Copies of this chain bind each other. A is one copy, B any other.
Amino acid sequence: MATHETELKWIDDMKFDVYQNSKTIRIDANPDEATSTGVRPKALILSSLAGCTAIDVVELLNKMRVQFSDFSIKVTGELTEEHPRTYKTVTATYALKLQDPAEKDKVEKAVKLSQEKYCGVSAMVRQFADLKYEIVYLQ
Residues of chain A having any CB pair with chain B under 8 Å: 1-10, 14, 16, 18, 20-23, 25-27, 29, 33, 36, 38-52, 54-55, 58-59, 70-79, 83-87, 117-124, 127-129
Q: What 6 A-B pairs come out closest when comparing CB atoms?
A: A41-B51, A44-B48, A10-B71, A8-B50, A27-B51, A127-B128
Residues of B within 8 A of A7 (CB): 50, 72-75
Tallying the copies of this chain within the complex gives: 2
Residues of B within 8 A of A73 (CB): 7-8
A33 contacts B22, CB within 8 Å? yes
Residues of B within 8 A of A52 (CB): 41-42
User: Looking across the interface, which residue of chain B has its beta carbon closest to that of A119?
Assistant: B84
Residues of B within 8 A of A120 (CB): 42, 79, 83-86
Give min CB distance, A61 to chain B, whole Å.
Answer: 10
Interchain residue pairs with CB less than 8 A apart (18) = A2-B85, A4-B40, A5-B43, A5-B75, A5-B77, A8-B75, A14-B58, A16-B54, A21-B33, A21-B39, A22-B36, A25-B47, A29-B59, A41-B55, A41-B121, A43-B48, A83-B118, A123-B128
